[in-house]
A and B are shown apart, each in its own frame.
Chain A
Amino acid sequence: MSAARRSSAAPAAAPDRIARAFATARERGEAALVTYVMGGDPDLVTSLEMALACVRGGADLLEIGVPFSDPIADGPTIQRAAERSLAAGTTVAQCLALAAAVRERSQTPIALMGYVNPMLAYGEERFLDDCAKAGVDALIVPDLPPEEAGRFGDLARARGVALVFLLAPTSTPARRAAACAAARGFLYYVSVAGVTGARKALPADLAPRLAAIRAESPVPVVIGFGISTPAQAKALAPLADGLVVGSAIVNRIAEPGSRKARAERVERYVRSLKRATRRR
């Protein structure tokens, strides 16, 4: 955690921050923990507090959601978070400012997760310039598969921002190879055919699928969609370089309570997950 809170004397180039976070976790015998908070949910100040609570709880990577009106890859939990955020008037520019505010206080790598249309509306190059300025290390854009990402990916790379590709249980070996060849930062393996959201059970063939991808991938592979309990995190930690927890955190933010109470709740929960990522 001390590494995460190191002051920002010399900002590292983006892939370095990501690579270092995974390396540090690996040296400690842990899977990296990636935590998701929707930007502006329910307001910007709260989401900043929640992101910092994740850092205090031991998150190795932060995902900050950029809200979109029509989030086709998300389940009800994150869709409602986006609705709350948009109802509060959150803009793309504010999400970038939120990332910058987190960056001022922490060197934990930041990935923005959002849909492509708001990024296009902001202006591709302007958006990527501002990501670099804000200290954003990576972008996760679930509706931008490699086929459509060529120019956007190139522009991002030129600015030191990694465009993260997703792989799914349905991905063919050819698509897996293409994603591995184009991979920057890390690869995001979607654990189930489905949308985001906490699930009781994960598929039985997860281990061999992840092993195959990790054998091929030049970058760390994280697993996401459906992880909500420390027990799941413990079971999955040996299988992947990192674990993503989203909806379960969003649910804890949505529960009633003061900002301070929510922050403590989130920090405590993230700490319990982080403990469970130890592989020993």
Chain B
Amino acid sequence: MARPDAAGHFGPYGGRYVPETLVPALDELTAAWEEARRDPVFQAELQELLTRYAGRPTPLGEARRMSAEVGGCRVLLKREDLCHTGAHKVNNTLGQVLLARRMGKKRIIAETGAGQHGVATATAAALFGLPCDVYMGALDVERQALNVFRMQLLGARVVPVEAGSRTLKDAMNEAIRDWVTNVGDTHYIIGSVAGPHPYPALVRDLQRVIGDEARRQVQEHAGRLPDAVVACVGGGSNAMGIFTAFVGDPAVKLVGVEAAGHGLSTGRHGAALAKGRPGVLHGSKSYLLQDADGQIAEAHSISAGLDYPGVGPELSFLKDQGRLTLMQATDDEALDALQYLARTEGIIPALESAHAVAAARKVARKLGSGGLVIVNVSGRGDKDVEQVRRALAERAAVPGPRKAAGRPPRPPARRASATRTARRSK
């Protein structure tokens, strides 16, 4: 796996497009991480936290009923939903809080979309006794009320951001402004492989544990590498986390699944790689959803974690190199996949991860018997159940557009759900 160049470029992407005030802090962070990641004492402490606190390694479990349903392709689920706090996000926040402490920073800030990164940051900050402010778009504060409360229970202050689209990108703007103002004593924990150098490499380094484990586990479990690894892509931290271990294996297809929202042709989606153009947002150059005049477009996804107009620069580079296979899942497909995994495997995935599940079913069907696929179940769906309940109720009430979107998957479970029965009876 390649390191970016000294200035943080992955090919033409990445870099540092930030106000001058932050450049010295980014230099300091880069140097601190270069030192820490080679320091056995730091690594041992991180390993200890990941094992005793976060619950690593997470299992790579066989999805037997799903495998049968998709036609015999073996499907393995990487269970990041079993991490402490319910998502892979904690791998990154534990590492960065350790790093912040090493740099002598007294305060933590973060931005969050779905709230998973906010909860993971609040958790790590609580563990080390550091005050923590989490910026969150006002819209996300509404739709992720449970996670807001969790952050508050953990002692963090949640700051609603009313500007712009009131979602993740605006929360990130506000966090950057806070950091510009308080850069002396504050560490900003970016939650994805986005932002200025060194964050894309730093967050990837902290998340690659997912792929390193999965690679070892799949060798033990199946005796070979998978045909495909499937992960959802918002900013891209769970995707880079699992892909990194397989980037050097050309036979392993890396499938990044973006949010198609209401559909790629509607303009209401979060598919920056598929439909964006290279540009600069939040400190780095990467594919972006933007209008002809370079104004950032509002992304849309049923999943707050995928509702981001940008993507990590390394993913942009992998796309241009042809190493990344892009797929998309609509809001409806994600809702269906969430129910599907719940009923076939007894796992309620996060809406983000449900996008990966939706695409993985297609990949697995195509591979057929003898195929082997790993799906990164990046988080659990507890945070989303209220929103899913509402979305399903709306869908049951308005059956028209659903039919146009294609047939819902038929779960192998004998018992049809109330909503499906209701829809069929219309």
A contact residues vs B (CB 8 Å cutoff): 68-73, 75, 79, 83, 86, 91-92, 115-122, 142-145, 147-148, 165-172, 175, 190, 193-195
B180 neighbours in A (Cβ, 8 Å): 72-73, 193-195
Closest chain B CB from A203 CB (angstroms): 12
CB–CB B18/A145 < 8 A: yes
Interface residues of B in 13-29 (CB under 8 A from A): 15-25, 27
Instruction: Find B294's partner among A120, A143, A168 (CB 8 Å cutoff).
Output: A120
> Is B169 at the interface (CB under 8 A from chain A)?
yes
Instruction: Find A116's partner among B17, B22, B23, B163 (CB 8 Å cutoff).
Output: B17
A191 to B101, CA, bound (A): 29
B279 neighbours in A (Cβ, 8 Å): 117, 120-121
> Is B104 at the interface (CB under 8 A from chain A)?
no
CB–CB A117/B294 < 8 A: yes
CB–CB A193/B184 < 8 A: yes
Which segment, of B280-288, B354-362, B399-407, faces chain A? B280-288
A75 to B19, CA, bound (A): 13
CB–CB B20/A167 < 8 A: yes
Among B181, B277, B283, B288, which residue has the most Cβ atoms of chain A within 10 A?
A: B181
CB–CB A121/B292 < 8 A: yes
Instruction: Find A143's partner among B19, B170, B296 (CB 8 Å cutoff).
Output: B19
> Is B173 at the interface (CB under 8 A from chain A)?
yes
Q: Is the interface of B mostly helix, strand, loop or mixed?
A: mixed
B contact residues vs A (CB 8 Å cutoff): 7, 15-25, 27, 163-164, 169-170, 173, 176-177, 180-184, 277-283, 288, 290, 292-296
CB–CB A175/B24 < 8 A: yes
A69 to B299, CA, bound (A): 13
CB–CB B20/A190 < 8 A: yes
CB–CB A195/B24 < 8 A: no
A224 to B164, CA, bound (A): 26
CB–CB A121/B290 < 8 A: yes
A118 neighbours in B (Cβ, 8 Å): 293-295
Interface contacts beyond A117-B279, A117-B280, A171-B24: sample of 13 additional A-B pairs, CB < 8 Å, sorted by A: A69-B164, A70-B169, A91-B293, A117-B288, A117-B296, A118-B294, A121-B293, A145-B18, A145-B19, A170-B20, A171-B20, A193-B21, A193-B183
CB–CB B294/A92 < 8 A: yes
A79 to chain B: closest residue by CB: B163
CB–CB A193/B280 < 8 A: no
Listed by A's residue number, 8 A-B pairs whose Cβ atoms lie within 8 Å are A70-B282, A72-B18, A118-B294, A145-B19, A170-B183, A171-B24, A193-B181, A194-B181
CB–CB B15/A120 < 8 A: no
CB–CB A142/B19 < 8 A: yes
Instruction: Find A119's partner among B16, B27, B294 (CB 8 Å cutoff).
Output: B294
CB–CB B17/A148 < 8 A: yes
A120 neighbours in B (Cβ, 8 Å): 278-280, 294
B177 neighbours in A (Cβ, 8 Å): 72, 75, 195
Supposing A92-B293, A121-B294 touch, asked if A166 and B280 sit within 8 A by C-beta, the answer is no
